[in-house]
Chain A
């Protein structure tokens, strides 16, 4: 590891076992925490944001001790952080690295961009079908309008 990388890595302490979610766009770090419901998590959660990144300029990182996410659980974050990488740590060692994948459905994560959609006017769990994973296009289960990457917002 290069010296610069080590210095950066140490800004957020290492965890012994668990999952590191790296390369989160800085503006969406807290969205990722919300989606994964980490505010309720009882074990250690280390959060770093606005860290320097050669790839992204600024990035966020979240380290969750003793937590190994199921793929449908973690894929939800692909909607807010498609660039995120997952690093599985055991005994301080990296045992696996993978990218997140955009899921087929999104429930209660995304806000429908149509202001006249019933979900923006009553207390309703939003549901979307992802109709284009590459361009990130989601069809609202209720109003049937398409929310695309450039107008996506989160609940």
Chain B
């Protein structure tokens, strides 16, 4: 994967995904190695994302790399009207790899075509967020032993949830049975179902969370965002329908794990946090190992 950009989850093959997950496992066992001391990682956050940025910076720092960058566009030359092209051309002189988050869809692909160094997409608008997808895959594989033949439920905002779309795409390579649980207004878009249908995979759609819980190995919860609704009344109608509490997990399979891309607002009540099925904070930790694996393999320090 040396010198390759990671923009979309489909840029890497199934075998390459697995290789990254295996490397991430090695970093989990030995997270502090100074193998990137000679490297500079630029984190360009054109819109703020504390979690993703800190996770990348933690990954880079624990491998000994120097991190430079900005945390939102108001503190960069974008404010002065500089084009993305010029920003990327300039910054690629200063670093060995660029990690970028940008509010426009397609910005990361464009940056990777302009930059002289590889680019890792840390989120381009509503489009892709492949490192989140990889850490989700890592968490599923680690807790279930394998990615193959699992029953996976996606709950909440399936229409706009970028993490859901990418993870569904990626899981289509693993004979997954999908359970989509959402209000009708926030159903999975048909464009995302194309991949599922092409592979003749089974999927179920439901509005009832309780009915789905006993059937699945992974419960992937998402936040229903108020700003997605043009009519605030529509939001009020659905906002409490998909809240998971501890009691609802009574009928769950013993191997069930609950994932969430975070931040959580109220869609998982805090009484679930103590349940061994709650995995979302460990999932966030896994993000550091996956990002270490990506930085190290793209910079060519590991194979």
Contact = CB atoms under 8 A, between A and B. Distances in A.
Interface of A: 112, 114, 116-119, 121-124, 140-146
Contacts of B127: 143-145
Task: Report the interface size class on chain B.
Answer: 10 to 19
Nearest to B165: A144
Q: Which 10 A-B pairs have the closest CB atoms?
A: A142-B106, A143-B105, A143-B106, A118-B106, A118-B107, A118-B104, A142-B109, A117-B106, A118-B110, A117-B105
B8 A122 contact: no
B128 A144 contact: yes
A155 B125 CA distance: 23
A122 B110 contact: yes
B110 A121 contact: no
A140 B105 CA distance: 10
Contacts, number: 51
A143 B105 CA distance: 5
Given A144-B8, A144-B128, A124 B110 contact: yes
Contact of B84 (A117, A122, A144): A122
Contacts of B106: 112, 117-119, 140-144
A124 B112 CA distance: 13
Interface string B103-142: 1111101100000000000001111100000000000000
Contacts of A145: 105, 127
Nearest to A124: B110
B191 A122 contact: no
